[in-house]
């Protein structure tokens, strides 16, 4: 089955700096890559996703890049704010299959 690795497990940045979280996957058939943000005491919530026919996608301060050849994808958060502090999960999947989640990155933005 698919194996998703996520790094780093913890990340601390100063407010206003950028944060980058990286994931790799093993199954070249995976074609959907969502990113979820989980705030304390809440369920994960989708913040951005990308499909394999696209190399990059942006939504305001958040961007995701995908390198299908190398089988890795990354989340970029610019101009970080304290409310960006949360646990972030990447995932990989394909039609009819489950989401394979990474192990999570705990992001702390220091004011």
Q: Pick from 11, 20, 27, 38: which binds another protein (CB under 8 A)?
A: 38
DSSP string, 33-92: EEEEEE-TTS--EEEEEEETT-SEEEETTEEEEEETTTTEEEEEE-S--GGG-EEEEEEE
Site for another protein in 70-99 (CB under 8 A): 87, 89, 93-99
111 binds another protein (CB under 8 A): no
Which of 38/65 has CB closer to another protein?
A: 38
User: How far does the chain reach from its first CA to its final CA, in angstroms?
Assistant: 41
Segment interacting with another protein, rule: CB under 8 A, options 13-21, 38-46, 53-61, 65-73: 38-46
Measured from the CB of residue 83, what is the shortest distance to another protein in angstroms? 19
CA distances 25 to 17, 44, 51, 89, Å, are 27, 20, 14, 13
Residue ranges that bind another protein, judged by CB under 8 A: 31-32, 34, 36, 38, 41-46, 49, 87, 89, 93-99, 101, 103-104, 106
């Amino acid at each position: 089955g698919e194996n998703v690795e996520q790094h780093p497990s913890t990340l601390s940045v100063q407010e206003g700096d950028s944060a980058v979280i990286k994931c790799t996957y093993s199954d070249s058939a995976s074609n959907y890559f969502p990113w979820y943000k989980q705030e304390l005491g809440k369920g994960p919530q989708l913040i951005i996703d990308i499909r394999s026919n696209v190399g990059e996608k942006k939504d305001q301060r958040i961007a995701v890049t995908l390198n299908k050849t190398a089988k890795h994808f990354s989340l970029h958060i610019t101009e970080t704010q304290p409310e960006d502090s949360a646990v972030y999960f990447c995932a990989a999947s394909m039609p009819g299959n489950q989401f394979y989640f990474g192990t999570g990155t705990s992001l702390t933005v220091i004011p």
